[in-house]
Structure 1
């Protein structure tokens, strides 16, 4: 936003917005794919969706995913 208003560069915000939107859609697609492959519960799907709305919350859930992966590999 500073680039848009202080430096009068709205095109930078446009492309960053597009990238952010595409990454969000890919994240939701990844959660849906994991749901399909791992038979996640509705509560877990909801938790991962809510985490996508809170900044940096997905990194906190990464620890849970790593634990699940280690269980599956044994």
Structure 2
């Protein structure tokens, strides 16, 4: 579970940064100043990276045995600026809590 979570966390941050670059820099340049170069370069990169994000999100949520609805919400988080950062934090906390719950508790000797 640890490796899948790490892969998801890394790609969530990468997708989030690229999406913010696309929306905050690329879109104003394209529609405000008629300079589409950032959108033309960053847009396809975000599309490719988002596909990797989908695979990583599917993998980590499947391993955690989350329901389909929660899995889809995590997957959609890569389409809204800044939401992938929030989703990464929520996923990390929930999975870490889930792993702690699944670990066997030490036995104490009553005396």
If the TM-score is normalised by the length of the shorter chain, which range does it land in?
A: 0.5 to 0.7
Task: Out of 42-51 and 10-19, give the one that drifted further.
Answer: 10-19
SS at match of 2:66: coil
Larger Rg over CA atoms: 2
What is the TM-score of this pair, normalised by structure 1? Answer: 0.68
Q: Cα 1:37–1:53, aligned 2, differ >3 Å: closer, same or farther?
A: same
Correspondence 1:24 to 2:50: yes
After TM superposition, the structure 1 = structure 2 runs for residues 14-53 of structure 1, keeping only pairs within 5 Å, are 14-53=40-79
Q: Is there any run of 5+ residues in structure 2 with no aligned partner, and where?
A: 1-26, 104-111
What is the TM-score of this pair, normalised by structure 2? Answer: 0.50
Q: Is there any run of 5+ residues in structure 1 with no aligned partner, and where?
A: none
Superposed CA offset, 1:43-74 (max 9, x none): 21122133222221121122322222432156
Alignment coverage as a number of residue pairs: 73
Partner Cα distance (1:69, 1:10) in 2 = 40
Contact 1:34 1:40 in 2 (8 A): no
Correspondence 1:61 to 2:61: no
